[in-house]
DNA sequence: AATTAAAAGTACCAAAACGGTACTGTATAG
DNA sequence: CTATACAGTACCGTTTTGGTACTTTTAATT
């Protein structure tokens, strides 16, 4: 679908919130309350982010989470990498051998790799610190677009979109 | 998951094949055979592509499909737009009103819109004609990357990837 | 006109992914 | 030693996805 999962959206939301208050430690419960998300969900996201070393955790009473690095060193691509992995370590493609040999069209793969690289670079260019400040200048690359059919993450973003077809969240 | 759906992968595969033989009309059956895909699947993809005016169709005996425009005017973004739509015209976000009001964090939405724009531009920069020719020069923008963990579409692309974690297909 | 080739439309179903929740375990502060 | 808060695992309902079948419409050929 080329959409971003809700979990990823929550992740950016959470990290952005934490980046806005770098001083204190954030408990999962506190974040859940502040952002209007379910505690188990926030917990799950934070655990995953911790596993990928985007946040550090302090257990026990008065524990909580903090950003593992300065927010300008956590990119959107990092968040996606952490939260989109979900499951499967290898797939039918590597097991069921090559059915694609037909017609030598497999150079398309090379092209997709290029495309992915490009997209990835776009995502790497945006970091959490950028997200904290409302977009003002030309902070992001290439601002002028003609047709920007937007979409919007799930709760945070999409919840307040204008109208029909507002979801979809396709990039 | 930020992955591309198989249908979209098939779409680029089909269009690329057609672009390689611009002379003749292509029947769904012929394409299915040439690319090693199921006829119903190819049929479905072509119908959708037709609905979005990326291919034109000629019905009846000796009918078939042809590109609706020169391959260099069909971008990957076009293909994605056509094939990723699948279903839902509006979603919970527009119906269940705003739960996101909490904490004013909704400026994140604006940032996501920016990000999406950037990604979209990357996808708009690649067209079907680019896919026909094996990547040679710096045809695509920004080639040099450090970490390009690839993945790969489903049959065409991914089917011949190296090893573990080869799927995922995340962009 | 009949037949045949081929696209168009609709509907359906199994499998997988997503999103969310619960439960149990472990560490730390007071 | 108790309350707090993170860690891990497992589960389940819902939605998407991918694929198939069946019927209808259009056009060429004989």
For residue B119, the distance in angstroms to the closest alpha carbon of chain A comes to: 5
Separation in Å: C12 C1' and B40 CA: 14
Is residue B153 scored above 60 in pLDDT? Answer: no
Q: Which of A24-38, A97-111, A143-157, B91-105 has the lowest mean pLDDT?
A: A143-157
Quote the CA–CA distance of A82 and A61 in Å, as a whole number.
Answer: 27
Which runs of E-coded beta strand occur in B36-171?
Answer: 55-58, 64-67
Nearest to B152 among A76, A109, A165 (CB): A109
Say whether the CB atom of A144 is under 7 angstroms from strand D.
no
**Model pLDDT, residue A63:** 95
Contact status, residue A117 vs residue B170, Cβ threshold 8 Å: no
Where are chain A's structural domains? Answer: 6-135
What mean pLDDT, rounded, does chain B reach? Answer: 72
Separation in Å: C18 C1' and B61 CA: 44
Q: A8 vs B2: CB contact, 8 Å cut-off?
A: yes
Q: What share of chain A is helix, strand, coil (3-state, %, to 5)?
A: 45, 10, 45
pLDDT classification of A26: cutoffs 50, 70, 90: very high
The most confident of the ranges A21-25, A49-53, A149-153 is A49-53
Nearest to A112 among B94, B110, B152 (CB): B152
Is residue A59 scored above 60 in pLDDT? Answer: yes
Separation in Å: C4 C1' and A157 CA: 54
For B66-104, what is each residue's pLDDT tens digit?
999 999 999 999 999 899 865 443 333 333 334 444 444
Torsion of CA B104, B107, B109, B111, to 10 degrees: -150
- Higher pLDDT among residues A98 and B72, named by residue: B72
Q: Collect all residues of chain A within an 8 Å Cβ-Cβ radius of residue B8.
A: 2
Q: With an 8 Å Cβ cutoff, is A116 touching chain B? A: yes
Distance of CA B155 to the CA centre of its chain: 14
Based on its alpha-carbon atoms, the radius of gyration of chain A, rounded to whole angstroms, reads 19
Nearest to B164 among A89, A114, A135 (CB): A89
Where do the H-state alpha helices sit in A52-170? 76-83, 92-95, 107-124, 128-132
Say whether the CB atom of B65 is under 7 angstroms from strand C.
yes
- Higher pLDDT among residues B125 and B89, named by residue: B125
Contact status, residue B129 vs residue A122, Cβ threshold 8 Å: no
Say whether the CB atom of A149 is under 7 angstroms from strand D.
no
The mean pLDDT of A17-45, rounded to a whole number, is 93
pLDDT classification of B3: cutoffs 50, 70, 90: confident
- Higher pLDDT among residues B164 and A78, named by residue: A78
Closest residue in A to B161 (Cα–Cα) = A94
Is residue B161 scored above 60 in pLDDT? Answer: no
**Model pLDDT, residue A58:** 95
Q: Collect all residues of chain B within an 8 Å Cβ-Cβ radius of residue A151.
A: 116
Is residue B47 scored above 90 in pLDDT? Answer: yes
In this structure, which CATH number among 1.10.10.10, 3.40.630.30, 1.10.760.10, 2.170.270.10 belongs to the domain A6-135? 1.10.10.10
**Model pLDDT, residue B107:** 64
Quote the CA–CA distance of A47 and A28 in Å, as a whole number.
Answer: 10
The mean pLDDT of B52-69, rounded to a whole number, is 95
Q: What CATH architecture applies to the domain B6-134?
A: Orthogonal Bundle (1.10)
Residues 86-115 of B with CB under 7 A from strand C: none
Say whether the CB atom of A61 is under 7 angstroms from strand C.
yes
Is residue B55 scored above 90 in pLDDT? Answer: yes
Q: Collect all residues of chain A within an 8 Å Cβ-Cβ radius of residue B13.
A: 105, 108
Instruction: Determine how many CB atoms are found less than 10 A away from the CB of residue A117.
Output: 22
Q: A121 vs B157: CB contact, 8 Å cut-off?
A: no
The mean pLDDT of B111-138, rounded to a whole number, is 78
For A74-88, what is each residue's pLDDT tens digit?
999 999 989 986 544
Q: Which two tokens stand for residue B45?
A: 């993809």
**Model pLDDT, residue B89:** 37
- Higher pLDDT among residues A152 and B7, named by residue: B7
Separation in Å: C5 C1' and A73 CA: 60
Contact status, residue B22 vs residue B67, Cβ threshold 8 Å: yes
- Higher pLDDT among residues B60 and B132, named by residue: B60
């Amino acid at each position: 679908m080329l959409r971003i999962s809700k979990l990823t959206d929550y992740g950016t939301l959470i990290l952005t919130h934490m980046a806005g208050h770098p001083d204190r430690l954030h408990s999962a419960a506190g974040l859940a309350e502040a952002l209007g998300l379910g505690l188990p969900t926030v917990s799950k996201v934070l655990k995953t982010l911790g596993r990928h070393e985007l946040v550090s955790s302090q257990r026990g009473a008065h524990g909580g989470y903090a950003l593992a690095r300065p927010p300008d060193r956590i990119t959107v691509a990092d968040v996606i990498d952490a939260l989109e992995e979900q499951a499967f370590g290898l797939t039918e493609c590597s097991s069921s051998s090559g059915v694609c040999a037909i017609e030598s069209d497999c150079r398309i793969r090379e092209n997709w790799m290029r495309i992915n690289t490009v997209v990835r670079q776009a995502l790497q260019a945006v970091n959490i610190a950028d997200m904290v400040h409302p977009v003002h200048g030309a902070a992001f690359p290439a601002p002028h677009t003609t047709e920007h059919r937007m979409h919007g993450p799930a709760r945070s973003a999409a919840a307040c979109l204008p109208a029909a077809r507002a979801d979809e969240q396709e990039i």
